[in-house]
Amino acid sequence: MEPWYDEGAEAQARAYERAQGLLFLGRFALLFALAGMFWGSGASRALGEGLRRHLSFPYAWPLVHLAFTSLAVFGYEALLFPLSVRAHYSLEKAYGRLTGGFGEWLRSYLVTLLFEIGLMAGGFTTLVALMRVFPSVWWLLATALYGALVLGLGEWAPAHLLPRLRPPRPADDPDLEEDLRKLGRAAGFEMTGAAWWDFEHQEELESVRLVGRGRRRRAVYSEWAWRNLSRPARVFLAARRMYWLLNRRVRAVQGLQLVLAAGVFLGGGWMADWAARGRGLPGATAPEAFPFLVVALFGCAAVAGMAEHAVARWMELRADAFALRYAGGAERLLECLREEFRQEPFAAEVPAWQVWLLRRQPTAARRAARASPRAPARESEGGGTRAD
């Protein structure tokens, strides 16, 4: 069987992803090294004492933390600016993924930098405020805030807010709607129709969302999926999404994320506090302890992320098996992969270190291999009819 992708373009994409992965890991390692230098050189103590002298009025500690974190993040990004140029400009130009000039890229980089500084400063100041005001349960409150912002808005906004702000265009495809109804009856859903998003800048949208509540759902496709995929492939994508909604699988994965986030906050906060007190500071809430807090939280988050990504990759393979059982054979999956590759070439297979450290999705080569007739989907992949 001929490969479903262009081998030359795939080799280029594989080299690009490897280079970007190494740069990402390099930046992550330098975060730890620079945090150690920031503390060991005495710069952290000097900056904290200087800010307290200049902001000495009562209850000035939030401003001290905001200023400290903003300056620290700016210094980190300034030192790593050459790597940013390499990762986000030079490599993008070399592999034909960026068309603008350096000046245009630099303006975009500065806007992103200001946003990152504000986000980091606000996030860490909020975290320290919780630690100071609620020393016993701060990590539970931080987890709840994380769940509301990251999981709540991440799932709620595309499913409920976006359809109100950007009403999708009706599909006007009776055959597709009938196929979706048949699929829904087999999987335990009541499909009420199909539609597609008709607006610009859909880069972050999923190929399909099942909008609605409980068993009543409507399939809403991205413009890319609507214009490039055949009707059977669209049904296949809807079946994959149904798998996530059956038996509250989405909620289970989100629950795992919340448990891991709680562990990150509790463990990272404890380690940072222990390290800070060992160096003569009053605890992790001192501005000077920011290097300890960064290293502890980001280190714990990296370990938790690897665990969550491993579960997500396993679930994605099971979603493929579910769709193969209810919505067609391997040719449907290969069509989806082929069209995604035409839109933007990607690596079909990558080394194991990239999968375990960086990927939430299984590789396309593994997905295609699992869908081959020699590896049929097991009957248990269907797994229940309870809709979330």
| Tens digit of each residue's pLDDT (9 = 90 or more) over 93-131 | 999 988 889 999 999 999 999 999 999 999 999 999 999
For 10-14, 102-106, 203-207, which range has the lowest pLDDT when averaged over its residues?
203-207
| Tens digit of each residue's pLDDT (9 = 90 or more) over 323-365 | 999 998 899 999 999 999 999 999 999 999 999 999 999 999 9
* CB distance 323 to 240 below 8 Å: yes
- pLDDT given for residue 127 in this prediction: 96
| Tens digit of each residue's pLDDT (9 = 90 or more) over 146-165 | 998 887 677 777 777 788 88
For 331-347, b/e burial (b = at least 16 CB within 10 A) is ebbbbbbbbbbeeebbb
List beta partners, residue 169. Answer: 196
Sheet holding 216-221, edge to edge: 169-170, 190-196, 216-221, 208-213
- Say how far apart CA 345 and CA 15 lie, in whole Å: 11
- Say how far apart CA 349 and CA 371 lie, in whole Å: 15
- pLDDT given for residue 333 in this prediction: 94
CB atoms within 10 A of CB 216: 14
- Say how far apart CA 237 and CA 246 lie, in whole Å: 15
- pLDDT given for residue 378 in this prediction: 41
Does residue 382 carry a pLDDT above 50?
A: no
Does residue 385 carry a pLDDT above 60?
A: no
